[in-house]
Structure 1
Amino acid sequence: MKTALIALYLLTVTAPVWIALLAVPQTDHSLWSEVAKNSGLIGIGVLLMQFVLASRLPVTNRYFGLDSVMIFHRSMGMFALALLLVHPVLLAFGEGNWKLLYGLDQTWYIWAGKTTLLLLLVHILISVFRRSLRLSFERWRVFHDSLAIAIIALALLHSWYAGGDLSALPMQILWVLLGGAAIAAFVWHRLIRPRRLASKPYRVDDVRQESPDVCTLRFALPEGETANHLPGQFHFLTFPNSAVVPAEEHHFTISSSPTLTGFVESTIKASGDFTSQVGKIQSGETAIVQGNFGRFSYTLNRNESELVFIAGGIGITPLMSMLRHMRDIGDERPVTLIYGNKTEADIVFRSELDEMQSTQQPSLQVVHVLSTPKEPWPGEHGHIDGKLLNRLLGGELMKTGFYLCGPAAMTSKVVTALRQHKVPRHNIHTESFSLTEDTAPTSARSIFRKWVTALAIVIAVVVTVTVAGIRAGGSEASGDGHEHSHSHHSH
């Protein structure tokens, strides 16, 4: 199914070029003009598919995970920008008309194309530098959505009126279908689904303090619903009527086991303006919950006979969900938990972990690692790194599954150390609290994602150049000027 979804994506974003080739097998344009047009067509195809990728489709989350989809989404946005920046430069060169780039006496749809490029550049810069600009997630999303709609509208108008290929009926049908899919994905994701979720709100049943800066929120499920998440997954929470936190959407791990009847729990650390106020939420408040997302779960890897969980700080939450699930279903696989914190007071779920370890439910060995203990500490000191793993882990690791969640620096060091121990990449599973940053660049999922991204770019470039060569027919002519050869509308 993964292969089929990847193939469908590649076929969709390159479809404009293939349809153009079938509709008009040869043109009187130069090779560079054809490369320019194809760059524009595929660039717009990629942009339209960005709406679909961002719409949190269950099928893409199931096979790839939402984090991988969103990182891919970001990479393809950069690629679309590159294609659309190349488009006018090569077109001006191929048509021998450099005034296309700097001339002020242009038709409205050429200005629409130039405005598209400018807005797309601003759009990507704001996304990349959101934290540096100190934009809140909600404010950034308003910018993101507004600019995205404007970009697509202008791009479709520019291509419809400026592109000669759009005079062919099959191309017009394709443009309507792709544009309709993008609009439908946006409307579903941002308008229809939120309203449907709001009609079945969850209720905050309990708020309990786990440590000085960590609390757990228990949510009562709507009537008739049961917990259906995999242990280790996360969901999105919004508190629409809260007096203490803004009605912003944030994603948090589900720390409870799906065996918990009638409730789900999220354990949240105070680390920003929003999360620092979550502990003040009152029982009885409503929450809009969207989920479940992610592929970080031991239940997806049944072939692993032993498990090693490695957590840093609040990264314990998805692993705790897995441990609770293993306890509840009687999974007897041995688990070693290596749990790093700054001080003893920062250890979350300590009493429950101690109970699990003493009762062997599951068969659990817990190793606490403190980086800056405030009092004499008999346990491990420092950070979770290769030296610590060398001392704690020995023997055959080929059938051991490693599950890592914590700070990016820890994750990177641990993955590198595990690879030095010859642990297969497919046995190293990582989770990040960021949906747009790759915190484990050497993990199997990351390498697969990079491979898919590279494949998409290479295929798009090869299709662009190959079809351009076929349609140009070896012509060296530059055409009779931009308006004649590039547009099918009179003006």
Structure 2
Amino acid sequence: MKTALIALYVLTVTAPVWIALLAVPQTDHSFSSEVAKNSGLIGIGVLLMQFVLAARLPLTNRFFGLDSVMVFHRSMGIFALALMLVHPVLLAFGEGNWKLLYGLDQTWYIWAGKTTLLLLLVHILISVFRRSLNLSFERWRVLHNTLAIAIIALALLHSWYAGGDLSAFPMQALWVLLGGVAIAAFVWHRLIRPQRLAAKPYRVEDVRQESPDVWTLRLALPEGEVSEHLPGQFNFLTFPNSAAVPAEEHHFTISSSPTLNGFVESTIKASGDLTSQIGEIQRGETVIVHGDFGRFSYTLQRDESELVFIAGGIGITPLMSMLRHMRDTDDKRRVVILYGNKTEADILFRSELADMQSMQEPILHVEHVLSEPDEKWPGESGHIDGKLLNRLLGGDLMKTGFYICGPAAMTDQVVTALRRQKVPCRNLHTESFSLTEDTAPTSARSVLRKWVTALIVVVAVAVTVIVAEMRTDGNEPSGDGHEHSRSHSESA
């Protein structure tokens, strides 16, 4: 199914070029002009599919995981920008009309294209440098969505009126179809689904303090619903009527087991704008829950005979969900957990982990590692690095599954160390609390995503060039100063 979804994506984003070729097999434009037009067509195809990727569709989450989809979404946005930058430069060169780039005396649809490019550049920059710009997540999301709508509207208008290929009915039908799909995905994601979720809210059953700055929220499910999440997944939570926290949507890991009937729990650290007052949430408040997401779960990897869980700080939460599920389902696999914190007071679920180890439910060995221990600390100290992993693990790790969740620096360090020990990337599973950053570039899903991204870029570029060659068949630049590519409809 993964291969089918990837193939469908490639076919969709390159469809405008193939349809244009079928509609008008030959043109009198130059090769450079055709490459430019194809770049623009595929660029718009990629932009339209961005709405689908961002819509949190169950199908893409099931096979790839929402975090991988969103990192891919970001990469494709940058690729679309590259295609759109190539488009006017090669077009000006191919048509012999450099005024397309700097001239002020242009028709409105040329200005629409220039505005599209400018807005797309701003769109990418604020996404990449959101933290440096001190943009809150909610403010960034509003700006992100507004710009996205403006970009695609201007791009469709520009291509419809400036592109000669759009005078052919098949191309017009394709544009209406792809545009309709993008609009439907956006309306479903931002309007219809939120209303449906709000109609069946969860309720805060309990607020439990785990440490000075960490709280567990127990949420009661709507009447008649059962929890079907996998251990290790996460949800999006919104508190629409709370006096303690803003009504903003944020994602949090599920720390409870799916076996907890009628309830779901999330353990949250008080840190950002929303979470700093998480402990002030009152019992009985309503919560809008959207989930479940992620592929960070041992239940998806049944061929791993032994498991190693590595956590840093609040990164213990998805691993606790897995351990609780293993306990409740009597899973007999052996688990070693390495849990890093600054001080002894920062250790979460310490008593529960100790009980699991003493009862061997599951078959568990726990190692706490403190980076700033006091003099009385009897356990491991320092950081979870290659030396500690070699000393504590050793042996044959080829059939061991590693599940790593914590700060980005720790995750990258641990994955790098394990790869040096020849642990296959397919056995490295990571979770990041960011949906747009790759914190473990050599883990299994990261490697797959990079290969898929590279494949799509190569195929798109190849299609751009090959179709341009097929349509021009060696034509030389006309040099007659055509205005953009609209003249194609007049000469074809």
Per the normalisation by structure 1, the TM-score is: 0.98
CA contact (8 A) 1:162 1:488 kept: no
Could you report, residue by residue, the CA deviation over 1:250-274 in whole angstroms, capped at 9, with x for unpaired residues? 0000000000000000000112221
1:220-369 aligned within 5 A: 220-369=220-369
Deviation at 1:357? 0.6
1:213 counterpart letter in structure 2: D
Aligned to 1:59: 59
Q: How does 1:117-128 map to 2 (within 5 A)?
A: 117-128=117-128
CA distance in 1, matches of 2:193, 2:130: 26
Q: Deviations over 1:323-363 (max 9, x none)?
A: 00000011011111100000010000011111101111001
Alignment of 1:450-461 (within 5 A): 450-461=450-461
Contact 2:162 2:484 in 1 (8 A): no
Question: Residue 113 of structure 1 aligns with which residue?
Answer: 113
Once the 2 structures are TM-superposed, how far is the Cα of residue 442 of structure 1 from its aligned partner? Answer: 1.1
1:480 deviates by 3.7
Letter in 1 for 2:50: Q
Question: Using the alignment, how far apart are the partners of 2:392 and 2:180 within structure 1?
Answer: 55
Q: After TM superposition, which residue ranges in structure 1, 4 or more long, deviate above 6 angstroms? A: none
- How many angstroms apart in 2 are the aligned matches of 1:487 and 1:251? 50
In structure 2, relative to structure 1, the CA distance for the partners of 1:125 and 1:10 (3 Å cut) is: same
Counterpart contact for 1:161–1:488, Cα < 8 Å = no
What is the rounded CA distance, in whole Å, between the counterparts of 2:100 and 2:33 in structure 1? 13
Q: Which amino acid aligns with 1:105?
A: D
1:167–1:488 Cα contact (<8 Å) kept: no
Partners in 1 of 2:374 and 2:172 — Cα distance?
69
Structure 1 residues 232, 484: closer, same or farther in 2, change over 3 A? closer
308-317 or 475-484: which moved more?
Answer: 475-484
Provide the residue aligned with 1:194 in structure 2: 194
Contact in 1 for aligned 2:95/2:484 (Cα 8 Å): no
Tell me: CA distance 1:409–1:484, structure 2 relative to 1, closer, same or farther (3 Å). closer
Q: Contact conserved, 1:29 with 1:479, CA < 8 A, in 2? A: no
Aligned pairs (5 A) from 1:416-435: 416-435=416-435
Q: 1:90 — aligned with what?
A: 90
Residues 1:469 and 2:469 aligned together: yes
Give the partner amino acid of 2:78.
Answer: M
- SS for the counterpart of 2:203 is strand
What is residue 141 of structure 1 aligned with on the other side? 141
Q: Tell me by how many angstroms 1:481 deviates.
A: 2.9
| Secondary structure at 1:338 match in 2 | strand
Seq. identity, %:
84
- Residues 352 and 485 of structure 1, relative CA distance in 2, 3 Å threshold: closer
Counterpart in 1 of 2:377?
A: 377
Q: In 1, are the aligned partners of 2:97 and 2:479 still within 8 Å (CA)? A: no
Confirm or deny: 8 A CA contact 1:13 1:45 kept in the other structure.
yes
Q: Which amino acid aligns with 2:54?
A: A
Alpha-carbon distance between aligned partners in 2 of 1:477 and 1:329, rounded to the nearest angstrom = 70
Give the superposition deviation at 1:489: 7.9
Looking at structure 2, the residues matched to 36 and 213 of structure 1 have their Cα atoms a distance apart, in angstroms, of: 55
Query: What's 1:155 paired with?
Result: 155
Tell me which residue corresponds to 1:448.
448
Instruction: State the Cα distance separating 1:374 from its structure 2 match.
Output: 3.2
- Residue 131 of structure 1 and its aligned partner are, at CA, apart by 0.6
Q: Secondary structure at the match of 2:243?
A: coil
> What's 1:38 paired with?
38
- For 1:120 and 1:275, the matched residues in 2 are separated by 32
- How far, CA to CA, are the matches of 2:375 and 2:126 in structure 1? 45
**Aligned 8 A contact 1:239 1:287 in 2:** yes
Q: Measure the CA separation in 1 of the matches of 2:327 and 2:460.
A: 49
- 1:68 and 2:68 aligned: yes
**Which consecutive residues of structure 2, in runs of 5 or more, have no partner in the other structure?**
none
For 1:122, give the aligned amino acid.
V
What are the ranges of 5 or more consecutive residues in structure 1 without an aligned counterpart? Answer: none
SS of the equivalent of 1:457 reads helix
Find the aligned partners of 1:264 and 1:485 in 2 and give their Cα distance. Answer: 57
Classify 1:315/1:279 alpha carbon distance in 2 versus 1 (closer, same or farther; 3 Å).
same
Distance apart, 1:408 and its partner CA:
1.1
TM-fit CA distance, 1:485: 4.8
- Are the aligned partners of 1:161 and 1:489 in contact in 2 as well (CA < 8 Å)? no
The answer to whether the 8 Å contact 1:312/1:405 transfers is: yes
Distance 2:146 2:272 in 1: 26
Three-state SS of the structure 2 residue aligned to 1:97 is coil
For residue 483 of structure 1, give the secondary structure of its aligned residue in structure 2. Answer: coil
The one-letter code matched in structure 2 to 1:319 is: L
Q: CA deviation at 1:217?
A: 0.2
Distance in 2, matches of 1:147 and 1:182, equals 14
User: When the two structures are superposed, what TM-score results if normalisation uses the length of structure 2?
Assistant: 0.98
Cα drift, residue 180 of structure 1: 0.4
Letter in 2 for 1:362: P
Q: Which amino acid aligns with 1:64?
A: F
Cα separation, 1, equivalents of 2:215 and 2:374: 22
In the alignment, is the contact (CA less than 8 A) between 2:29 and 2:488 conserved in 1?
no
The AA in structure 2 aligned to 1:463 is V
2:178 corresponds to which residue?
178
CA contact (8 A) 1:415 1:440 kept: yes
Task: Give 3-state SS (helix, strand or coil) of 1:482's partner.
Answer: coil
Q: Deviations over 1:20-70 (max 9, x none)?
A: 000000000000000000000000000000000000010000000001100
- Separation in 2 of the partners of 1:482 and 1:404? 57
Show CA shifts across 1:122-171 (max 9, x none): 11111111111111111001100000000000000000000000011000
Q: Give the letter for the 2:264 counterpart.
A: V
